[in-house]
């Protein structure tokens, strides 16, 4: 019975993610924007993210006290920059402007999985090869290129201040 409930929950979240992706429109910033507004936006989302360090992980949770990975990134950007992201990690990856690791900036999202078509995890880059993410140990700060993660892509989240 427990397996059936888990499978139904996974299916429901997948369908919700596809629906969210189909109905969400996000404008992406250019990969080379380097103005002060980017730093200001990072500081505001980082403040929210840092305040959630130690929060518990629950699959499908979107906050404010428990999160899954994409629920965490959605929450941080909604509270810190008033940006609505799609619900699932795959939908977030699909909807954002991709950047290379060489061009990654603080506040960019880092995606993990088997390939860019099977994203299973997302975290927020905070600089110096580190990210904050929600995972089975809860919301933690860790290395982007830890041996247990396979990074498959990076993306920039557009904010209202990017358009200024």
Torsion of CA 140, 144, 145, 150, to 10 degrees: 90
Tell me, what's the pLDDT at 56? 97
Tell me, what's the pLDDT at 19? 36
Low-confidence ranges of the chain (pLDDT < 50): 5-6, 8-35, 161, 163-164
Tell me, what's the pLDDT at 146? 86
Q: Any idea which residue has 């305040």 for tokens?
A: 51
Of how many residues is the chain composed? 164
pTM: 0.75
Q: What is the DSSP letter of 41?
A: H
Kindly list the catalytic residues: 69, 121, 133
**Helix 69-81 and helix 36-51: axis angle, to 10°?**
130
**Alpha-carbon distances, residue 133 vs 16, 20, 36 (angstroms):** 21, 21, 25
Tell me, what's the pLDDT at 12? 46
């Amino acid at each position: 019975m427990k397996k059936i409930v888990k499978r139904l929950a996974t299916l429901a979240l997948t369908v919700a993610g596809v629906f969210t992706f189909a109905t969400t429109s996000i404008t992406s910033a250019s990969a080379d924007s380097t103005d002060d507004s980017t730093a200001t936006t990072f500081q505001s989302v980082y403040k929210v993210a840092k305040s959630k360090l130690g929060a518990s992980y629950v699959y499908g949770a979107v906050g404010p006290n428990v999160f899954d990975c994409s629920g965490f990134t959605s929450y941080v950007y909604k509270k810190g920059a008033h940006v609505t992201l799609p619900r699932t990690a795959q939908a977030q990856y699909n909807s954002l402007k991709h950047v290379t690791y060489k061009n990654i900036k603080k506040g960019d999202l880092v995606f993990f999985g088997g390939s860019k078509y099977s994203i299973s995890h997302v975290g927020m880059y905070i600089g110096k090869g580190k990210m904050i993410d929600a995972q089975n140990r809860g919301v933690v700060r860790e290395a982007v290129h830890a041996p247990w993660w396979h990074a498959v892509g990076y993306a920039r989240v557009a904010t209202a201040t990017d358009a200024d």
